[in-house]
Amino acid sequence: MPATTPPAWFGTVFLALIVLAPLPFGSNRPVWWSLLGLAATTLFAAYLILIRRGGVVPGFRLWQVGGLVLPFGAALIWAGLQAVPFGLSAGPVTNPLWDLAGEALGRSLPSAVSVNPHETLTGVARLLTYALVFWLALELGRHRSFADRALRWFVYAGMAYAVYGLAMEVLGLDLILWFPKWAYQGFVTSTFVNRNSYATYAALGLLCAAALLVDSLRSRSARPKTARKAIIGLIERLGGRGLVPLFACVIIAVALLQTGSRAGVLSLALGLVVFGITAAMARLIRFRIALAGIVLLVVMLGTVIALRGGAFVDRLESDTLDKDRNARGELYALTMDAIKDNPFLGTGLGTFPDIFALYRGAEFDTLGPIDKAHNSYLGNALELGLPAALLLMAALAAAGETNLVGLRRRRRGRLFPVLGLSALAVVALHSTVDFSLEIPAVGVTFAALMGITCAQSYRSRRRRRRKPVLTVVAA
């Protein structure tokens, strides 16, 4: 009879792939994200082979998770079609810039929806990598033992990257690995180039640490009869199973504050508020404890800012804040103008730099090349078109709905839907002002987290034995 669980080595390789992804510049270089995509594809192929040979029984059918995968798959297919050449002249579904380019070159060019098919296919490969990671996490995460192990791995990884980033700051070394920093000197970025991208990764790691801390502090024994015994028990658990996740929470929080990322701190605050509320809804903690925790969070953040949050305070008090707001506001306005010019078909996934170059004014000359919209929602709407961008948002909404249903229906493992909803809150807010999910290491980490939390949000399928039926025969 085939086993339902993949071999232990498979889960270990998968987790190693996820936690090592941030190491080489957040995997945001062609060679590194290509290797990341190749590794994810190889693991997915190996999983299919295990199923084919009867070693593993798949845990989910397409109809069970259609709300999660079909919107994302439809958007992915459309992105691939954007790169397909439809002819030697621009038509109703292709971009008119191809005709202009042909006239400039004096020859006809193959026309496509995308203004840069190569970059669009590159973007498709990245989205496909995220999809494969999500599916593997969904399959592996249905087993509680793997979900628990993955949570610990994410906490250890988040703690390790935070310690590294802070060590570089304390030692005064503006380095990423052994390379001198060429951007964001004086800020903690760990192994990432962009401090905002690391802030998102750190926020996800801190939420995992908070989840592990709550699980460690929950008492499996009977409720203590006196407040004194309850406090003693809490201290004992903090000094035992809760020590590592508590240290992880503190060290990651300090590293995140030292990034100086306003959006990162605000996103984390929202994630922790969602975490506290949903944990209380799941009866993992009491509502009054959740409220006290939120108040304590505000106090702790204020204290850490005062002691170790110099970069964050300097960032808030900088004279460039108003200038940044004005430049970003103009960037958003020009992006929306570009969306209005092609609202349905888009300009091609990954083509924002090509399109924005046609719209930018002289006010951006001092800022150098701008290759991101600094708002993932606007960027997707421009590149994919509004229908496909809405499909991507529908996939994220379906993941949130799955976790919310799991929060209400599951009796065990409710900690994972809580983690999934809070992680979704973090990236949803941060994506309004940045592009962290477009960084491969952040993207695959978030995809793995959502796959595991969604898997744990479904009810366990238990085999029910038929009870013997007694037949009474009347004499």
43-57, 105-119, 305-319: the lowest-pLDDT one:
305-319
| Euclidean distance between CA atoms 245 and 207, whole angstroms | 10
Token duo for residue 50 = 């295990």
User: pLDDT value at position 464?
Assistant: 39
Q: Which band of pLDDT confidence, cut at 50, 70 and 90, is reported for residue 324?
A: low
Higher-confidence position of 194 and 97? 194
Give the rounded percent of residues in the chain with a pLDDT score beyond 70. 79
Are 24 and 191 in contact by the 8 Å Cβ rule? The answer is: yes
Cα gap 68→396, rounded to integer Å: 8
Q: How confident is the model at residue 327 (pLDDT cuts 50, 70, 90)?
A: confident
Indicate the range of 44-58, 256-270, 280-294 predicted with least confidence: 280-294
Per-residue pLDDT, 165:
95
404-458: per-residue pLDDT in tens?
Answer: 999 988 777 789 999 999 999 999 999 998 898 999 999 999 999 999 999 999 8
DSSP 20-79: HTTTTGGG-SHHHHHHHHHHHHHHHHHHHHHHHTTS---S--TTTSHHHHHHHHHHHHHH
CA-to-CA distance for 147 and 278, rounded, in angstroms? 19
Residue range 274-288: average pLDDT? 84
Query: Are the beta carbons of 433 and 328 closer than 8 angstroms?
Result: yes
- Residue that the structure tokens 């070394």 belong to: 173
Q: What is the mean pLDDT of residues 214-220?
A: 72
H or E stretch covering 180? strand 179-180
Name the residue type at position 17. Answer: L
* pLDDT value for 467: 40
Report the percentage of the chain scoring pLDDT > 90.
52
Higher-confidence residue: 121 or 305?
121
Check if the beta carbon of residue 263 is closer than 8 Å to that of residue 430.
yes
**Residue 337 Ramachandran class (φ > 0 left, ψ -120 to 50 alpha, else beta):** alpha
The confidence band for 317, taking pLDDT boundaries of 50, 70 and 90, is very low
pLDDT band for position 282 (cuts 50, 70, 90): confident
User: What's the mean pLDDT in 57-79?
Assistant: 88
Listed range (115-119, 227-231, 246-250, 403-407) with the worst mean pLDDT: 227-231
Give the CA count within 13 Å in the CB-facing half-sphere of 144: 10
Which of 221-235, 266-280, 343-357 bottoms out in mean pLDDT, i.e. has the lowest?
221-235
Res 219 pLDDT > 80: no
> Is pLDDT above 50 for 68?
yes
Confidence of residue 205 (pLDDT cuts 50, 70, 90): very high
What's the pLDDT score for residue 103?
67
Mean pLDDT to the nearest integer, 110-125: 90
Residue 361 DSSP SS3: coil
Q: What is the pLDDT of residue 157?
A: 97
Q: Among 274, 311, 295, which Cα is nearest to 428's?
A: 274
Examine the pLDDT at 229 and tell me if it is beyond 60. no
Q: What is the mean pLDDT of residues 141-154?
A: 94
Res 151 pLDDT > 60 = yes
Q: At 174, is the pLDDT very low, low, confident or very high (cuts 50, 70, 90)? A: confident
Mean per-residue pLDDT for 197-209? 96
Mean pLDDT of the residues in the chain: 83
The mean per-residue pLDDT over the stretch 49-58 comes to 84
Find the DSSP H helices in 174-242: 195-217, 227-239
Question: Among candidates 201, 176, 203, which has minimal Cα distance to 187?
Answer: 176
pLDDT mean over 126-131: 96
Comparison of pLDDT for 58 and 420, the residue scoring more: 420
Is-contact 294 277, C-beta < 8 A? no
pLDDT at 57: 83
pLDDT value at 288 more than 90: no
Q: Which of 162, 237, 173, 252 is nearest to 207 (CA)?
A: 252
Q: How far apart are CA 298 and CA 290, in angstroms?
A: 13
148 Cβ contact list (under 8 Å, min separation 6): none
pLDDT at 470: 37
Burial of 205 (0-12, 13-18, 19+ CB in 10 A): buried
Closest CA to 328 of 469, 434, 406, 203: 434
pLDDT tops 50 at residue 396: yes
Q: What is the sign of the dihedral through the CA atoms of 70, 71, 72 and 76?
A: positive
Task: Write the CB contacts of 77 (distance below 8 Å, at least 6 apart in sequence).
Answer: none
Q: Which residue has the higher pLDDT, 239 or 36?
A: 36
